[in-house]
Amino acid sequence: MALTHPTRGNLRPVYVTGLGLISAAGADVGAAWAQIASGQPVVKPVARFDIRGCECQVAAQVNDNDLLPAPLRARWPRFVRLGHTALDAALIQAELRGGENRCLDPTLPLWCSTTGGGTEYGETCVVNARAGQRSGIIASSMRYQARYLPHALQETYGLRGAAVTLSNACASGADLIGTAANLVASGRVERIAAGGAESLSTLLFHGFSCLRALSPTTCRPFSVSRDGLWLGEGAAFVILESEAEVIRRKVTPLAQLAGYGQATDLHHIAHPHPEGIALKQALEQALAQAGVAPEEVAYVNTHGTATPANDEAEGKAYERVFGGHLPRIALSSIKNITGHTLGAAGAIEAVLTIEALRRAAPLPAALLPDPIPNLAASLARSREVRAHGRAFVSTNSGFGGANAALVFLPA
């Protein structure tokens, strides 16, 4: 097999050979795609913890009761359970999963992202310790740690490579995948499993609720009358490989990860600069690294939280980067279906953007009576059956001014 993409400077091409995903929209990539295409929200009332007094009472929650044997369900924090499901699917698609849960490449580095980690265990640890309870404190604190995700998954699959955890708030997943791709592109590593996982918790729900970031009505990304986000949970993984490995293993690449950009917005810890300056920088960097002109972009899977500040600033960034080409580029946010999955969002949205690339079709935006005027044509274009252009892009932004963009090209 010959792959034809030229190298980008000193960087080698990087291919995606496996995808795995679980979210409230579906327990695999195909199911999630169908749910998003249907436009039907999947949020349900939150019953797992007490949210009395919060204006919003719903979230996009995963039913993971049937996903794992009971002993593992009891032992692992929820974010690890979700991460395991997604990683398993990615390994299977990449033809790296052997029998009895073993990975055929035992040295595979495992890179993970999350914001809260096993927050429910951290909460238990604090409450029990305050009550004077001594037993279980160490175990709870271990399972709370963000690093528990790669460590538990390494143990499960018998992996003996590096275990890495990145936490750049809601851009974590995209930053992690982009950084992993750059390491593979540098020629120092041949293959990395990279992805993110997030589960809902008391702390996270009350945090977004007290900021009045949750919608008391309906999550409507890029609507003029938008009033907030819905939280969600889930996980996604990609397997990134060098061209040499793709050829050696004779696997079929799903896409090329051609560009990654990152920038920090210093305007405010929780609010983007109103002109979307850092997202613009990240997007321009990613397009430049990919060697893609703005007019070659077919689709952007946006961050699109549906908070008043985010969507306005994000729209400004797209106007600045794409200029007059913007109306011809399809834009959509899937957070009205998947919910905002925080540290997993970048990974989930990257996986679905790759799936969109494979189908040569954008993920459709929700039908809005009042889209932001300058984005209306792009949102409408996302509901067309075919995308026009070679590059598919996914962007994310987060607290701490994190902004990231990934550019995918056909393999």
Partner 1 sequence: MQFNFNIAGIGAVSPAGLGLGSLLDGSVPRRQNWPVLAPSAPTVAAGCVDPTLPCWARWRQIPRLRRVGSQTLFLLEAVDEAIRRANLPADATIGLSVAFGNGVLTLTRKFYEGVVRAGIDGANPAWFPETVFNAPLNHTLGALGRTGPSSAWVGDATALAQAWVNAALWLEQGNVDAVVVAAAEEVDEAMMEVSLRAGWFRPTSKVFPAEGAVAFVLTRDGPAQTQGNFHIHSGLPWRRLTDAPAALAEVLADFDPAWPMYAGPMPPPGPAREAWKQRPARSDWPAPWPYLGEAHSVAAGWTLARILANAPKEKFAVVLPLWGAGHQVAALGWESLQSCVTR
Query: Which residues here bind partner 1, judged by CB under 8 A?
Result: 10-11, 50-54, 109, 115, 122-123, 125-127, 129-130, 132, 134, 137-138, 141, 145-147, 151, 154-155, 159-169, 175, 179, 182-183, 186, 188-189, 202-203, 206-212, 262-266, 269-270, 285, 398-402
Tokens found for residue 344: 């997993």
Nearer to partner 1, 35 or 182 (CB): 182
What is the SS3 string spanning 44-68?
EECCCCCCCCCCCCEEECCCCCCCC
Tokens at 178, concatenated: 């982009």
Q: Which is nearer to partner 1, 63 or 135 (CB)?
A: 135
Residue closer to partner 1 (CB basis): 339 or 364: 339
Q: Report, in Å, the least distance between residue 346 CB and partner 1.
A: 13
- Closest approach of partner 1 to the CB of residue 263, in Å: 6
201 burial type by CB count under 10 A (0-12 exposed, 13-18 middle, 19+ buried): buried
Q: 387, 389, 393, 388: which is closest to 408 by C-alpha?
A: 393
**In this structure, what token pair is assigned to residue 203?**
């702390």
Q: CB nearer to partner 1: give 154 or 336.
A: 154
Q: Considering beta carbons, is residue 191 or 381 the nearer one to partner 1?
A: 191
CB of 115 to partner 1, least distance (A): 6
Cα separation, 234 vs 61, whole angstroms: 8
Q: Which is nearer to partner 1, 32 or 342 (CB)?
A: 342
From the CB of 142, what's the least distance to partner 1, in Å?
8
Nearer of residues 147 and 358 to partner 1, judged by Cβ: 147
CB of 201 vs partner 1, minimal distance in Å? 9
**Closest residue by Cα to residue 314 from 409, 229, 216, 200:** 229
C-alpha 386/C-alpha 217 separation (Å) is 32
Nearer to partner 1, 149 or 372 (CB): 149
* Nearer to partner 1 among residue 27 and residue 51 (C-beta): 51
DSSP reduced 3-state for 319? helix
DSSP 232-296: B-EEEEEEEEEHHHHHHHTPPP-EEEEEEEEEE--S-SSS--TT-HHHHHHHHHHHHHHT--GGG
Closer by beta carbon to partner 1, 231 or else 263? 263
Q: CA-CA distance, 246 to 31, in Å (whole number)?
A: 27
Q: How far apart are CA 175 and CA 401, in angstroms?
A: 12
Between 146 and 406, CB nearer to partner 1: 146
Q: Report, in Å, the least distance between residue 37 CB and partner 1.
A: 32
How many helices, marked H, and strands, marked E, lie in the chain?
Answer: 14, 12
Minimum distance, C-beta of residue 362 to partner 1, in the bound complex (Å) = 28
Provide the strand spans (E) within 25-181. 44-45, 58-59, 110-113, 163-166
Provide, rounded to whole angstroms, the least separation between the CB of residue 365 and partner 1.
Answer: 28
User: Nearest approach, Cβ of 299 to partner 1 (angstroms)?
Assistant: 25
Q: CA of 271: how far to CAs of 217, 226, 268, 283, 309, in Å?
A: 22, 16, 5, 18, 7
Residue 238: closest CA among 289, 180, 183: 180
CB of 277 to partner 1, least distance (A): 10
Let me know: does 177 contact 194? Beta carbons within 8 Å: yes
CB of 49 to partner 1, least distance (A): 10
